[in-house]
Amino acid sequence: MLETCCNASSQTSVKQINMSVKINGIQQLGVGVENVNEAWKWYRQHFSMNIRMFEEEATAELMLAHTDGKTRTRHAVLALNMQGGGGFEIWQHTGKKPEPCKFEIQLGDLGINVGILKTADIKAAFHAFKNSGLNVLTEIKNSPNGNEHFFLKDIYNNLWEVRNEKWVFRLKEKALTGGIFGTVIGVKNMEESLSVYQKILQYDKIVYDKTGVFEDFAGIPGGDKKFRRVLLQHSDVKTGAFSPFFGHSVIELVQVLDREPRNIFEGRIWGDPGFIHLCFDINGMDAIRELVKETGFPFTVDSAKAMDTFDMGEAAGNFAYIQAPEGTLIEFVETHKIPLMKKVGWYIDFRKRGHHPLPNWMLNLFRFMKVKD
């Protein structure tokens, strides 16, 4: 009887805390690279990630839990795409040699396997990438819920899914793809990992939960195995300052059932080449701190314990990390300040303004931060 009461009390506590947490959308996918300038140019040219939200060379002093207990110098760029969606945080170690993965990552290995890009014209994107000589791995196929998609690898051996998604932020852009629509994450135990993605990140709607060998995975490394795959999305409409730009998103969890998966960062550290973290724009960092503690995944990094606001050169805010059961690093960012038009010194301070959605005309000003080749 006492145990039942305690469980009920804990569930009530988590529910109450969750109501104070606002997950506003995917802010960015971290992409570790060996040469940040070269990689960003490639992503500008092929994925139209050409809006420079910030660029900074600094020391990652707070990430000791994920960098072998040592501070690491780095060069990072946060790049966006005016069609909307999350950005890329293109990240290079500068104080040590970046260590690429020593084995080919197979679908279902533990961590972020695939970055998902959206496109409003799947056939145009497919043919343009093929004609450009990109390493397109599959034809256009249907996912279990009937969505058209295909897979490709970039020149850095990262696997990308291009998924049909009609919504874009800025229609006048000529880009083939928009920004980050989600990720595919390899997990060891589906139920354990769902506790993070459903309870903490609020992906409460299961679009499908299927088990088998899937024809749409044929052609990608490890895609011929048997999987359980669960596609998640939010059931609500997000209302943060940048939510109109980020749009909605999905997370697909895949558990390979007929081989033993490997950790994609086996023998390496955060920031080494590959997909290094998934970052969410949030409000209510104090509430999230309590929520992750209550659900058994406390912060491994918490910038608020070191300073009131973390200065990233052209932007500022607080950030924190948790580690999901399969090893994926999840970042939370509560933005305090961003540049809107740097040339005239126009910044937005959200501690004064609040976090209700920015008007589209204001978000459209991001295009003036475009880097042209």
Mean pLDDT rounded to a whole number for the chain: 91
The percent of residues above 70 in pLDDT, for the chain, comes to 89
Cα–Cα distance measured from residue 227 to residue 258, given in angstroms and rounded to the nearest whole number: 8
Q: What is the mean pLDDT of residues 286-302?
A: 96
Instruction: Say whether pLDDT at 170 is over 60.
Output: yes
Instruction: Say whether pLDDT at 4 is over 50.
Output: no
What was the pLDDT predicted at 2?
Answer: 44
Instruction: Say whether pLDDT at 285 is over 60.
Output: yes
Contact 331, 62 (CB under 8 A): no
Cα–Cα distance measured from residue 230 to residue 228, given in angstroms and rounded to the nearest whole number: 7
Instruction: Say whether pLDDT at 6 is over 50.
Output: no
Q: Which of 168-182, 242-256, 346-360 has the highest mean pLDDT?
A: 242-256
Question: Residue 2: which residues within 8 A CB-CB, separation 6 or more?
Answer: none
Pairing verdict, β 159-164 and 205-212: unpaired
How many Cβ atoms are within 10 Å of 241's Cβ, its own excluded? 22
What was the pLDDT predicted at 307?
Answer: 57
> pLDDT band at 8, cuts 50/70/90?
very low
> pLDDT band at 94, cuts 50/70/90?
very high
> pLDDT band at 5, cuts 50/70/90?
very low
> pLDDT band at 9, cuts 50/70/90?
very low
Domains delineated in the chain: 3-369 (3.10.180.10)
Higher pLDDT, 38 or 166: 38
Higher pLDDT, 67 or 4: 67
What was the pLDDT predicted at 337?
Answer: 78
What was the pLDDT predicted at 373?
Answer: 84
Instruction: Say whether pLDDT at 268 is over 90.
Output: yes
* Range of weakest confidence among 276-280, 287-291, 355-359: 355-359
> pLDDT band at 316, cuts 50/70/90?
confident
Instruction: Say whether pLDDT at 310 is over 70.
Output: no
E strand or H helix at 150: strand 148-153
Instruction: Say whether pLDDT at 306 is over 80.
Output: no
* Range of weakest confidence among 158-167, 199-208, 357-366: 357-366
What was the pLDDT predicted at 135?
Answer: 98
What was the pLDDT predicted at 314?
Answer: 60
285-294 vs 2-18: helix axis angle to the nearest 10?
150
What was the pLDDT predicted at 142?
Answer: 98
* Residue whose structure tokens are 């852009």: 173
| Per-residue burial over 162-183, b = 16 or more CB atoms within 10 Å of its CB, e = otherwise | bbbbeebbbeebebbbbbbbbb
> pLDDT band at 313, cuts 50/70/90?
low
| Per-residue burial over 26-63, b = 16 or more CB atoms within 10 Å of its CB, e = otherwise | bbbbbbbbeebeebbebbbebbbbbbbbbbeeeebebb
Q: What is the mean pLDDT of residues 309-318?
A: 63
